[in-house]
A and B are shown apart, each in its own frame.
Chain A
Amino acid sequence: MIKTIIIDDEPLARQIIKEYLSSFPEIHVIQECNDGFEGIKAITQHQPDLVFLDIQMPKINGFEMLELLDKVPPIIFTTAFDEYAVKAFETHAVDYLLKPFAKERFDRAMHKWMGQHKQSFENEKTPNWIETISQQPDQQQRVVVKLGNKVKIIPIQEIHYFEADDDYVKIQTQEGGFLKNKTMQYFEQNLDPKQFVRVHRSFIIQVQQITRIEPYEKESHIAMLKSGARIPVSKSGYPKLKAVLGL
């Protein structure tokens, strides 16, 4: 039996996928999900062979949901209109379907998946393509992290700084630090450079959090944050910080 999950916020959109799937009797829809939260639970629980995923959904979008999975199953994206992501689908996902899609187009996506499915793929780690398709406006406003079984959404204004931590990035907020499986480079490139500055190889700080900057040893500085944290500013980071602060 081949297991599949449909994640979409509209009942009729899920219905048409189920209808099209009826010509693939070996495939069973084991669960339908309304949003990304349900999706994470269902995927973790059932380990499906294929997932149909909408991008624009309430709470968290499809990309954010994928970021939170330890193991990403094969995905067929279904989306109405997505100017930010279509290019990335072309290179990375199994396929993407633009709504409304015809049965023939749907079948083509299924056959493509079956071809790949036979080769049996192992996605042990989050594939790096997820990082390349995150130009969505809401993803520049917030960061989603997983906290045990719960999902936490951190608005970027609440982030004091990012700190490199081996393969992870630690996101420091009022409530403490949260780890996320991303690179420093990812955050540096995707956040507003006027708001977040990479002041050091291991640190990105939010400029509004800075209370003062002091010289420290030769050629380097230290930034004091409102929270009392002291963040090192490297020789190359200092001019960037000065430029953003307009000094």
Chain B
Amino acid sequence: MSSIFSNRKFLLGYIVFWLLWIGMQTGLLYRLGFRLEVAFPDSLVDNGLLALGGVAVSHSLRFSRPGKKKYAYIFIWSLGMAAVCTLLVRFSLSFLFNEEKEYQLFLFHSLPVRFWLAFLMTGWTAMMSWMWYTQEEQQENENRKNQAEKFSREAELFRLRQQLQPHFLFNSLNSISALAGSKPEEARRMVQQLSDFLRSTLTREKQQYLTLAEELQHLQLYLSIEEVRFGHRLNIVVENENAGLSSKVPCLFLQPIVENAIKFGLYDTTDKVTILIVAKLDREMLEITVTNPFDPSTAIPNNGAGFGLSSVKRRLYLLYARHDLLETQTNGNEFITRVRIPQANEHILS
């Protein structure tokens, strides 16, 4: 922990205060009729010792701050320091000016006043230091706590980004294995697509955010594989207004949503299935809707808690501290997933 005197403002204030105080005492003694040659050294020795005493008290508090008995501790320290200072003043000044009879008398009579002033001054310095160090310590604890929270949040976000891969990966490999027997050319193409997708995932998942353009590009790689896995029944339409392309979005957040839409859409009907992805920017909110057909009579009621979606929800909460960014609704035979990504920071920058 840094010393209170390493704070420049405080150090400057402390020095200026004592200089003013020395000036005041010199002036006072001068007004009382002492010559400047006497008044100034008196003030300098007296207050110089006090200033040093304050530093000593403050330092002792830096390393040991007894919890409950703090006031008693500060009180005793200040009392002791004041006594030491007063004694030193008494002997050094009477030694310096042993010729001046009038001053000797004054010095003797002013000792109680000097003692109480010394006590107040060291006590005040001690209190200031004590508060400073306590606050400093709290600050440090706070920082540590924030740091720990940040780490655990980062870890969770990382885990959430990772989690969705294995099913997709192994199922794709299984498809390749199937194609290798019957259609080796297609198998080779799919190996290529899967590699492109994995490479893109590896470079992107280190980042927390991507632009919408990058995210859509990545999604295309994913969709080209899904089209092989699920055959020609799958038709995907992506619409977006150019204004939104540079919007910031959490990296790879669309894939689980689209994956969910494909799974739900594909087997509720036997026809070709169209999945519609629309992105639009509305002031500070990027809104992305994914629409897929579904059969209300067999699908799970009040859905939205599929694993893919719940992990997206959790991620959005960790990133934006809001629970309402992912919504699902049904509209006749359509299942709509709506995600909103706040763009507030982006807006301020541009």
Residues of A within 8 A of B (CB): 9-13, 15-16, 19, 34-35, 37, 56-59, 80-81, 98-101, 137-138, 141-142, 151, 153, 155, 157-158
**Complex partner residue of B231 from A11, A56, A80, A101, CB under 8 angstroms:** A11
Chain B residues near A59: list those with CB within 8 A.
267, 298-300
Chain A residue at minimal CB-CB distance from B165: A81
Contact, CB under 8 Å: A12 / B267: no
Sample 19 A-B pairs with CB under 8 A, ordered by A number. A9-B263, A9-B267, A11-B230, A11-B231, A12-B175, A12-B229, A16-B178, A57-B267, A58-B263, A59-B299, A80-B166, A81-B166, A99-B170, A99-B174, A100-B170, A141-B305, A142-B300, A151-B298, A153-B301
Chain A residues near B174: list those with CB within 8 A.
10, 12-13, 16, 80, 99-101
Chain B residues near A35: list those with CB within 8 A.
267
Chain B residues near A137: list those with CB within 8 A.
307
Q: State how many angstroms separate the Cβ of A2 from the closest Cβ of chain B.
A: 23
**Complex partner residue of A80 from B170, B176, B263, CB under 8 angstroms:** B170
Chain B residue at minimal CB-CB distance from A99: B174
Residues in B201-241 with C-beta less than 8 Å from chain A: 228-231
Contact, CB under 8 Å: A81 / B178: no
Inter-chain CA distance A65–B263, complex, in Å, is: 17
A16 and B181 in contact, given A80-B170, A99-B173 (Cβ under 8 angstroms): yes
Contact, CB under 8 Å: B264 / A58: yes
Chain B residues near A99: list those with CB within 8 A.
170-171, 173-174
Inter-chain CA distance A130–B175, complex, in Å, is: 28
Main secondary structure of the interface of B (DSSP, over half): helix
Give the 7 A-B residue pairs with the shortest CB-CB distance, closest first: A80-B170, A16-B178, A99-B174, A81-B166, A100-B177, A100-B174, A12-B178
Chain A residue at minimal CB-CB distance from B303: A155
In this complex, how many residues of chain B approach chain A with their Cβ under 8 Å: the count is 31
Inter-chain CA distance A101–B264, complex, in Å, is: 26
Interface string of B166-188 (1 = CB under 8 A from A): 11011101111111011000000
Contact, CB under 8 Å: A13 / B171: yes
Inter-chain CA distance A158–B166, complex, in Å, is: 32
Chain A residue at minimal CB-CB distance from B179: A12
In this complex, the member of B171, B267, B301 whose beta carbon has the largest number of chain A beta carbons within 10 angstroms is B171
Q: A59-B299, A81-B170, A100-B177 are in contact. List 8 more A-B contacts (CB 8 A).
A: A9-B266, A10-B229, A12-B174, A13-B175, A13-B178, A99-B170, A99-B173, A137-B307
Chain B residues near A9: list those with CB within 8 A.
263, 266-267
Contact, CB under 8 Å: B307 / A19: no
Q: State how many angstroms separate the Cβ of B155 from the closest Cβ of chain A.
A: 18
Q: State how many angstroms separate the Cβ of A140 from the closest Cβ of chain B.
A: 10
Chain B residue at minimal CB-CB distance from A80: B170
A80 and B171 in contact, given A10-B230, A16-B178, A100-B176 (Cβ under 8 angstroms): yes
Q: State how many angstroms separate the Cβ of B148 from the closest Cβ of chain A.
A: 26
